[in-house]
Structure 1
Amino acid sequence: MAGKVLVVSQQKGGSGKTTLTAHLAVALAKGLPVAVLDVDPQGSLGQWFERREQRLGEEDIDLQFRTASGWGAKREARSLARDHAIVVVDTPPRSDLETRHAIEAADLVVVPVQPTPVDLWATTATLELIAKSERDALLVINRALARAGTTDQMLQAIEKLGATVAQTQIGNRVAFATSMGIGGTVLEAAPKSKAALEVLSLSVEILRVIESGGA
């Protein structure tokens, strides 16, 4: 039985998409065979993986990594899914063509949304792209601000987009960027931190959505 393909997508750059991709992959790999696929030409996920491989060693690396572009993204994602329970795909911003092929292979598309008006506008375009491929979307509030009032106000606006919103929110924490810089995640750097607990909670929620057959 083929594994599931989880695509992380957001048309707006700087949404924390690659950081979320890496953290979800590591969280899911704690109990499942996981592969990561980098479709973003910028290659940030690949740079993270190389640092991770250097730090852990090739024999102890916990993820399989591949890159692809264009129509090859859909083919590579499905190929990896034959040997892995979960394939997590990082997609580029501002590229309908590159992203569309990856989304077509998805069982679920996770859309990170920062609680700002600009991100909200970009998310509308992202959801339209997902809808064209007839795939399920799960919005994730990412880099949530400490000012709860602001986040709550934006959450109400995000819910009006009509897509399912994850119950778990990911906070705006320096630990995410710091851990990424050494090829790690907060799950390893600070396993008992709020950041780590948020990622674990989100990974469980995503698995539940996938297993139920959609958002």
Structure 2
Amino acid sequence: MGPDKTIGRQDMAGRIVTVAQQKGGSGKTTLAAHLAVGLTRLADGAPAFRVAILDVDPQGSLGTWFEARERSLGEAATGLEFRTASGWGARREARALARDFDFVLVDTPPKTDVDAKPAIDAADLVVVPVQPTPVDLWATGQTIQMARRESTPAVLVLNRVPPRAALTADMAEAIEKSGFERLAAHLGNRTAFAASMGEGRTVQETDARGKAAAEVEALVRALLDRLG
């Protein structure tokens, strides 16, 4: 029997957080990149977290972002370790990275159980981005069920939330009725996220005092609280 993932991986140095969503267009890569960089910036007077990112999506969007980051900041100044893997190699690579880093963020492909399953199995927590629409919430059930089959806890993150508070409240109620757990913090529907990704950066680096950066910091803190 494997480790009890509800209390975290006790015999490893780092935590593995897999970002997964069967529905395409949910913002997985943007979320993974922002969580990764956000974790490196949450020092609070202590040594910064050491973070690795692992791209198991054949489309390679996270890798493309990282290459842009290397061009923008220089190879030695990205603040992140980057690896790729596919299939069952994702589980092995994620666990190997967790021995050397505080956090491993894994970006998975949509619409395929085969490639996402090993990354979900290796994770201490699955983060599932969902846009605040009923259709997106319905599609999310498949990802949650996959995580449950691997005995891995999963939480939703509302992504691309419009400024209409009523819609957000309706979605929060729908999520509560569904029984899915979600993080209290969310990310808004802001062009700053896409613009920063195009530069190989994140909103905390392009506009550290902006609303988008504050949302990322709140989300990272909520993630840390959930991981205990």
Q: TM-score, normalised by structure 2?
A: 0.91
Residue in structure 1 matched with residue 23 of structure 2 by the alignment: 12
Q: Distance in 2 between matches of 1:210 and 1:84?
A: 16
* Count of residue pairs brought into register by the alignment: 211
Residue in structure 2 matched with residue 143 of structure 1 by the alignment: 160
Q: Distance in 1 between matches of 2:109 and 2:138?
A: 17
Q: Distance in 2 between matches of 1:91 and 1:159?
A: 25
Residue in structure 2 matched with residue 3 of structure 1 by the alignment: 14
Q: Distance in 2 between matches of 1:146 and 1:191?
A: 21
Find out whether 1:21 has 2:32 as its counterpart. yes
Residue in structure 2 matched with residue 177 of structure 1 by the alignment: 194
- Match for residue 162 of structure 1 among 156, 175, 179: 179
Residue in structure 1 matched with residue 134 of structure 2 by the alignment: 117
Find out whether 1:54 has 2:65 as its counterpart. no
1:148: Cα distance to partner?
Answer: 1.2
SS at match of 2:192: helix
1:210: Cα distance to partner?
Answer: 1.1
Q: Which moved more, 1:153-162 or 1:71-80?
A: 153-162
What letter corresponds to residue 72 of structure 1 in structure 2? G
Identity of aligned residues (%): 58
- Match for residue 93 of structure 1 among 89, 93, 110: 110
SS at match of 1:192: coil
What letter corresponds to residue 184 of structure 2 in structure 1? Q
Residue in structure 2 matched with residue 74 of structure 1 by the alignment: 91
Q: Distance in 1 between matches of 2:176 and 2:91?
A: 29
What letter corresponds to residue 216 of structure 2 in structure 1? V
Q: Distance in 2 between matches of 1:150 and 1:32?
A: 35
SS at match of 2:106: strand
For each residue in 1:132-165, what CA deviation from the matched residue of structure 2 results, as whole angstroms up to 9, or x when unmatched?
0011111111111111111211221122221221
For each residue in 1:36-74, what CA deviation from the matched residue of structure 2 results, as whole angstroms up to 9, or x when unmatched?
000110000000000001111112120000000100000
Q: TM-score, normalised by structure 1?
A: 0.96
Point out where structure 1 has 5 or more consecutive residues left out of the alignment.
none
Instruction: Kindly indicate whether the alpha-carbon contact (under 8 Å) linking 2:39 and 2:49 is maintained by their aligned counterparts in 1.
Output: yes
Instruction: Kindly indicate whether the alpha-carbon contact (under 8 Å) linking 2:175 and 2:181 is maintained by their aligned counterparts in 1.
Output: no
SS at match of 2:97: helix
- Match for residue 201 of structure 1 among 218, 224, 228: 218
1:188: Cα distance to partner?
Answer: 0.6
1:170: Cα distance to partner?
Answer: 0.7
Point out where structure 2 has 5 or more consecutive residues left out of the alignment.
1-11, 42-47
Q: Distance in 2 between matches of 1:122 and 1:199?
A: 24
| RMSD value, Cα | 0.9
1:87: Cα distance to partner?
Answer: 0.1
What letter corresponds to residue 123 of structure 1 in structure 2? T
What letter corresponds to residue 206 of structure 2 in structure 1? A
